[in-house]
Amino acid sequence: MSVAPELRTLVRERAQFACEYCGVAEIDTGGELTIDHYQPPRRGGSFDDPENLLYCCHRCNQYKSDYWPTTSTDKPLWNPRREQRDQHMVLLADGTLYPTTPIGSFTIRRLRLNREPLIAYRLRHQHLAEETRLLEELRRFVQIQERLQAHHAQLLREQQALLEQQRSLLAILVQLLK
């Protein structure tokens, strides 16, 4: 049994077309991702409540499987619908996720969020974000440069006008001295 198309669209759009666990986007995978039940229906979760539905990539869905804590010693998974990622894990400069809570640690292990392709994906996105930031900085620099050039051109025109006035005054002075 699958989720209704309207509900699937809602979940996809709400997730901005990316895996809510690892962040991989549809555009990077070349296709739609899957709908995951945060609390599996077999474990008491709602089948069609949007709050129980997550958009996730096939790998995260596969690694999560139908996991749900059933005993007091079982760890819960991070719920990206309710909490920001940085509440449980941080992204390091080397592209890995570092847990800051037991939930973050368990989620990283369970979903294998530090698998090599994901690290490479994050590093590529960090690199692209840095390139974008540098391009924006360059655009601002070029705009400043263009304004300075326009101001410089205006100053040159004013100087040219002053020189013309000076020549006229000198010509008059020469005529008076004759």
pLDDT band at 140 (very low <50, low <70, confident <90, very high): very high
| Stretch 47-62: mean pLDDT | 95
Residue 105 lies in a domain: yes
- 1 pLDDT more than 80: no
Say which residue the tokens 């809570």 belong to: 101
- pLDDT of res. 5: 92
- 75 pLDDT more than 90: yes
Residue 35 lies in a domain: yes
- The whole model's pTM is what? 0.76
| Stretch 76-82: mean pLDDT | 95
Rounded to the nearest integer, the mean pLDDT of the chain is 95
Q: Per-residue pLDDT tens for 142-174? A: 999 999 999 999 999 999 999 999 999 999 988
Residue 142 lies in a domain: no
| Stretch 111-124: mean pLDDT | 96
Query: Could you tell me if 54 and 21 are in contact, meaning their C-beta atoms sit under 8 angstroms apart?
Result: yes
| Stretch 126-132: mean pLDDT | 95
- Alpha-carbon gap, residue 123 to 95, rounded angstroms: 5
Number of domain units in the chain: 1
Residue 132 lies in a domain: no
| Stretch 123-135: mean pLDDT | 95
Residue 109 lies in a domain: yes
The helix/strand count (H/E) of the chain reads as: 5, 4
- Per the structure, the complete domain to which residue 12 belongs is given by 5-114
